Amino acid sequence: MKRVFTVFAIILFSVSMLQAQDLIQQKKKEKVSGGLYLKGGVAWMMSDSKSFLSNNRAKLTYGFGATMDINFSQNFSFNITAGLCNLGGTTEFKYGLNDVKDIDGKLITTSNDLQTHSYKHSTTYIEVPIGIKGCTNEIAYFTYFLKLGIDPMVRIKSKIYPETKEVFIITKSTNLFNIGWHVGGGAEWTLAGNTKLLFEIDYLGTFFDFDRIKSWRGENSPEETFNPKIKFNDISIKVGVIF
C-alpha cells in the first residue's frame, strides 16, 4: 500500500511540475505580443482663432499598421504602435487665405482673390503612438482594456481642396512634425492559443498647428495676415489580429 501511495505521490508531483512549467512557458510567450490592424474614423479641425475661421465639415479617415504590447505586470503593459493615418476636415476662413502655392509652385490663392473661403484638408502621417495599457483578466474569452499615450507624427503628404473642387498638393506648406495624445479602450477576443481578435475605439487630438498657411485678418486690411493654429481631432475604430 505504501508503494501505491508513493507512486501516486510521484505521479501527482510530476503532473504538478509539468503544469507549472507550462504556465511559465505561457507567461514567457505572453511577455511580448503584437499584431496588425486596420482603422477608420471621422476627423475634424479646430482652432483657437475662432473669430477668423471655423470647422465646417468632418472628414472620413483611414489608417493601418502594427501594434505591440510589452507586459511589465499581469495587467499592465507598454503599448507601441507604428502605422499610417490620414487626418483632415473642412475649414471656413472668414476673410480667405493669403498666397498659397502647391508643390509645383502653382498659385492656389492670390492677394486679390478673397472669394474662396472654404477649404477641405487631407494630411497623411506616419504615426508612432506610445502609451500605457491596462487590461482585465480574461473573462469568457474576452480581455477588456484602456490605454493612454502620446502620438509622435511625421507628415508624408498634404492636400487641399478649394471650392473649385480641384486638388492641390501643399506638402511644403505644412509642418513636417506634429505630436498628439490619445485615449481609448476596447477588447481582445481569444480565438485559440495566443491568437486574438482586436476591437478598439480611440480619440486622437494634436497639440500643434499642422500648417504654415496665412489668413487675412479682415477685408479692409488686406496687408495684415497671420497663421491661425489649426489642430486635428479624430475618433477611430480599430480592428485587428493579435498573435
Highest mean predicted confidence (pLDDT) among 25-29, 63-67, 105-109, 191-195: 63-67
Q: Residue 232: how many CA atoms within 13 Å on its side-chain side?
A: 34
- pLDDT at site 177: 94
Is residue 76 within 8 A of residue 84, CB to CB? The reply is no
Among 15-24, 54-63, 94-103, 207-216, the range scoring the smallest mean pLDDT is 15-24
Whether the predicted pLDDT of 7 surpasses 80: no
pLDDT of 66 reads 97
Predicted pLDDT of residue 174: 85
Average pLDDT over residues 75-97: 87
Q: List pLDDT tens digits, range 106-130.
A: 666 544 444 556 788 899 999 999 9
Give the chain's mean pLDDT.
80
Q: Region 90-115: what's the mean pLDDT?
A: 63
Residue/partner pairs of 218-225 with CB below 8 Å, 24 or more apart: 218/95, 219/95, 219/114, 222/111, 222/114, 225/98
Q: Which of 188, 180, 229, 189 is nearest to 69 (CA)?
A: 188
| Cα torsion 101, 171, 96, 229: sign | negative
Return the pLDDT at 2. Answer: 54
Question: Once rounded to an integer, what is the mean pLDDT over residues 176-202?
Answer: 94
When pLDDT is averaged across residues 60-64 and rounded to a whole number, the result is: 95
Element (H, E) at 15: helix 2-29
Residue 51 has pLDDT above 70, yes or no: no
Which pLDDT does position 105 carry in this prediction? Answer: 61
Please tell me the predicted confidence (pLDDT) of residue 8. Answer: 43
pLDDT beyond 80 at 89: yes
Average pLDDT rounded to a whole number, residues 209-224: 69
